[in-house]
Amino acid sequence: MLKSRWMKLILLGGALAVLAGVLVWRYSGGGQSASRSNDLIREYLLFPERRPALSNQARSQCAGAPFILPSAGLIGLMYGDTAAPYTAARRHTGIDLFGDGRAGTVPVYAVFDGWLTRLPEWRSTVIIRHDDPLRPGRTIWTYYTHMASRDGSQSYVSDQFPRGTTERFVRQGELLGYQGEFAGGGAPIAMHLHFSITLSGADGQFLNEAVLENTLDPSPYFGLRLRLEDEPQPRPLTCA
Ligand SMILES: [Zn+2]
C-alpha cells in the first residue's frame, strides 16, 4: 500500500519534470540555436530613449572592409537568424536595420559602387549589381527592401529610380530611398531596412534572395560580426 503510493508520487513528479522541460525548451527557441534578437528589437521599439545608444551609424565603414553601412539604426536580425518570424529551417538571409524616426525619413544608401535595377513590380525594393570586391571577377548583388508605406501605397524609393529602372550606375553612398514598413501584404512589421547579398545564377541574373543558400554572409564585406552567434554582441556592433 505504502509502496504503491510512493510509486505514484515518483511517476507524477517525473511527468511534471518532463512537462517543465518541454515548456522551457519550447520557449527558449524550440531546440533551435537560441536567438535573443527579438528581445533586443522589442527593447529598441519599446524604449525610444535607448535607441541612440543601440544604433550603428549610416555610411560608417570598418577599416579594410569594402562596404559602408546602408542605413542607421539597430542591427536587429542577424544573418542566419532563427528569431521570429524565421526558424532554424528558414533562416534570415540578410540583416535588418531598425532606424529611429518616422517611416519614409531614415535614409538608405548604396553600400558600394554598382548598377541598380528596380523591377517593374517592385514597390519597395532595389538591387545593385557589383563586381565582388572580395572576389574580383565574381558578380554579387546587394538587395534593399521594405522602402514603402505599410499599405504599399507610397513608395520611399528615390525618384531617381522609378520602377523598371535597369543597370543605372550608382556610387557608394548614393541615396536609394528611405526605410519603410511595407511587408508585401504579409504580417505587419516595424520600420526597418532588410539588406542582403545575393549570388548570381548561371544566366548571370540574381538568385532568389529569400533562400539562404543563394546569399552570402555579409560579415567580411562590412568588417562586422553579422552572423547569428550564441552570445548576442553588445550594440552598437563594433568593427571585428
Ligand atoms: Zn530582414
- 3 state SS for the chain: CHHHHHHHHHHHHHHHHHHHHHHHHHHCCCCCCCCCHHHHHHHHHHCHHHHHHHCECCCCCCCCCCCCCCECEEECCCECCCCCCCECCECCCCEEEECCCCCCCCEEECCCCEEEECCCCCCCCEEEEEECCCCCCCEEEEEEECCECCCCCCECECCCCCCCCCCEEECCCCEEEECECCCCCCCCCCCEEEEEEEEECCCCCECCCCCHHHECCCHHHHCCCCECCCCCCCCCCCCC
- Does residue 105 surpass a pLDDT of 50? yes
Rounded distance from Cα 15 to ligand 1 centre (Å): 40
Å from CA of 240 to ligand 1 middle: 22
Ligand 1 center to residue 146 CA distance, Å? 9
pLDDT at res. 207: 98
CA 167 / ligand 1 centre spacing (Å): 24
Cα of 174 to ligand 1 centre, how many Å?
Answer: 21
CA of 86 to the centre of ligand 1 (A): 9
In the predicted model, is pLDDT for residue 15 greater than 70? no
User: Is pLDDT above 60 for 23?
Assistant: no
Label residue 8 by pLDDT band (50, 70, 90).
confident
CA of 114 to the centre of ligand 1 (A): 22
